[in-house]
Amino acid sequence: MNQIFNVLTEPAGSLIYHLILAFSIAGAFQAAFVHWRTSEFPQARRVLVGLGLLLLAQLTLFVVGGIGGQGLINLPVILPPLDRAFTLFSLVWMLWLWNFPEPSRAADAATALLSLLIAVGLSLSLIAYAQDLSRPPYNTTINDGIWQLASIAVAVFGLFVLGVRRPNGWGYGLAVLLLAFAGHLLHMVVGRFDGNFPGAVRLAYLAAFPMLMTLPQRFPAPVTGPTSVKSHAPVDERRRYSTDPKTFHALLGLAGESSADKLSQAITRAIAQTMLADLCFLIYLTDNKNQIQIASGY
């Protein structure tokens, strides 16, 4: 077990540790973003906020490490307190993510206040460790014990609230907070010896952070079924000619008419029925071709 702890606290192991955490957060953030774009749920937006802050903390550690690699800052003095502060910061926001998926002003304000207190504690820890000329391993300092006790208290409080509220997906949150609690407690029991970083805590967080990817799945996205285009029955084009039996009967009746008046009426009736016309008139010119007369209509 100590060998695993030592691997996680060496420079190469530390890099792998932070990369795994960063990729776990980034994967969860991408899934939450896709969920938010498809659903626009306020819960998904809150997940984006929390994961964004966790990712920002990890990126800050990378930036500080890069600056320290250039010799611009004293990494052995700055990095151990910063690691403890960002670990507690991440734990606080994971508590917020799991316990308060719905908007809550009180929870949001309390979480923001705790974040400010962590920043104040980080400043005091940096000053105290920088002024300690003996520069003992940070795992053996009082400040490390304070950070660990604060993390244990946050984990216990988060477990209590989670057991009371039991929001969607609370089982994964329970596992995350239990792992965090076990890691910090194990470090307090067996890990406060030589070294600047808590190997037990890092091992616990390596197991806990991948569970962040379950956060976007707590609220199912709306099912978008295939859009069915309502098929309208094609409108039949209006018939121009009639083939009804009565039409044939009207046409055949023309042959049996001998009277001119009746013949003109039969013609208009037959044409109107054949052409499906509403109105039909038989019109002719007078002998002088100056007037039009309507002989019959139908």
Mean pLDDT of 203-207: 93
When pLDDT is cut at 50, 70 and 90, the band that residue 218 belongs to is: confident
> What is the mean predicted confidence (pLDDT) over 149-161?
96
Structure tokens at 5: 């702890």
Answer whether 135's CB lies under 8 Å from 80's CB: no
Q: What is the mean pLDDT of residues 54-67?
A: 92
- Determine the angle formed by the axes of helices 260-275 and 245-253, rounding to 10 degrees: 160
| Cα pseudo-dihedral 255, 257, 259, 260, rounded to 10 | -50
Cα–Cα distance for residue pair 200/185, rounded to 1 Å: 9
User: DSSP labels for 101-152?
Assistant: -S--HHHHHHHHHHHHHHHHHHHHHHHHHHH-TT---GGGSHHHHHHHHHHH
**pTM, 2 dp:** 0.72
Domain extent listing, the chain: 2-217, 245-297
What pLDDT sits at residue 38?
82
Q: Report CA torsion sign: 18, 19, 25, 26.
A: positive
Categorize the per-residue pLDDT at 14 as very low, low, confident or very high, splitting at 50, 70 and 90: confident
If one compares 252 and 197, the residue with the highest pLDDT of the two is 197
pLDDT of residue 185: 95
| Domain 2-217, CATH class in plain words | mainly alpha
The Cβ of residue 36 has, within 10 Å, a number of other Cβ atoms equal to 19
DSSP-derived secondary structure for 143-176 = HHHHHHHHHHHHHHHHHHHHHHH--TTHHHHHHH
Q: Is 178 exposed, middle or buried (0-12, 13-18, 19+ CB in 10 A)?
A: middle
Inter-residue contact 65 to 53 (CB < 8 Å): no
For 101-130, how does the pLDDT look when each residue is reduced to its tens digit (9 = 90+)? 888 899 999 999 999 999 999 999 999 999
End-to-end CA distance of the chain: 107
Q: Which of 90-99, 162-171, 181-190, 249-258 has the lowest mean pLDDT?
A: 249-258
Cα 255 from Cα 246, distance rounded (Å): 15
Tokens 């926001």, located at residue: 93
DSSP 210-247: GGGGGGGGSSPPPP-PPPPPPPPPPPPPPPSS---HHH
